[in-house]
Amino acid sequence: MAQKEVGTELSKAASSPEQAGLSGPFFEIGPKNLLRRAELEGLARAAGAAGFDYGVSVILTVPTALIAPIHDLHSGVLPFAQAMAPDPPGNSMGRVIAETLVDAGAAGVMLNHVSNPLDAPALAAAVERARSAGLQTIVCTNTEAEAVQVARLGPTAILLEPPALIGTAGHISRDWITPVNEAVRRVVPVVLMMHAGGVSAPSIAEAIMAVGADGTGSTSGVIGADDPLSAARSFIAATRVGWDRRHQR
C-alpha cells in the first residue's frame, strides 16, 4: 500500500469511535508502583474533580491490578494500563491482553515506555490489538524520527519524551515541539501529540501546552509534591491555561 493510502487508512482508524474518547487538552499522571490503592483512589478523585472543573481530560496510568478499582470510582479520570501484551485470547499464562484490560475497565494503554520498551513488530501488534479491542493508545517515543514512524501505526496519541529530560527540573525552550508535531501530522493529521519529560512544575506544563501540545503529564511533579492532590490540581489548571493561551492567539 502506498504511503498516502496508508496515511488515509490510519486517519480513518484514528477517528473511529473507539479512538474518539481522548482529546486535547489532556494531562497524564503515571504513578508507576509508587502508590497503594487508597492513595491512588484519593489521587483519582482529586484529579478527576480538577479535570471536570477545568475542562481537561485526565489520564491516570495505573498498575493492572488497580484498573478495576479506579474505574469503579467513576471519578472522571481515564484509567490507562501501564503495558499490554500483543497476544490474542488463548491459553497463555501471566500475560495481560487487550480484552482483559477492557473487561477491567481500562480506557486505554500506554505502550513502549522507557522502562518497558517493545521492539517494532511487538509494538505494531500491540497497537493493532488495542485498537481492535476498543482501547485508546499512548505510544512513547524518544525522537522525531521515532514519532513519525510510530504515527504510521495509528495510535491515539504519541508521547515524545526525550530520555535526557526524564526526572529533571527547570524550564527549557523545547523548540522541537512545533516541528515534531508538523512532521507527525504530515503522516497522520489526526494523531494527538503529547510532550513531557522534566515537567516538574505547573508553569512548565503551561508552557508546553502553549507552544502546541495536545497534552502533557507529570509523575514526580505530582507524586513527589508535599501535597500531591493539590499539586495535581495545579498541574491540571496550568494545562488548561496553556491550551487557552495558544487557542486565543
| pLDDT tens by residue, 172-223 | 678 889 999 999 999 999 999 999 988 999 999 999 999 999 999 999 999 9
Q: Which fold has domain 3-12+23-247?
A: TIM Barrel (3.20.20)
Contact 43, 72 (CB under 8 A): no
Q: Is the pLDDT of residue 8 over 50?
A: no
pTM of the predicted structure, to 2 decimals: 0.89
**What is the predicted pLDDT for the residue at 162?**
82
**What is the predicted pLDDT for the residue at 10?**
40
- Continuous H helices in 37-119: 37-54, 67-73, 98-104
**What is the predicted pLDDT for the residue at 169?**
56
pLDDT digits (tens, 9 = 90+) for 209-236: 999 999 999 999 999 999 999 999 999 9
Question: What does the pLDDT average to over 63-85?
Answer: 97
Report the length, in residues, of the chain: 249
**What is the predicted pLDDT for the residue at 4?**
41
Instruction: Please tell me the distance from the alpha carbon of residue 185 to that of residue 182, in angstroms, as a whole number.
Output: 5
**What is the predicted pLDDT for the residue at 68?**
98
Burial of 171 (0-12, 13-18, 19+ CB in 10 A): exposed
Cα→Cα distances 167→6, 162, 200, 214, 230, Å: 36, 11, 8, 21, 20
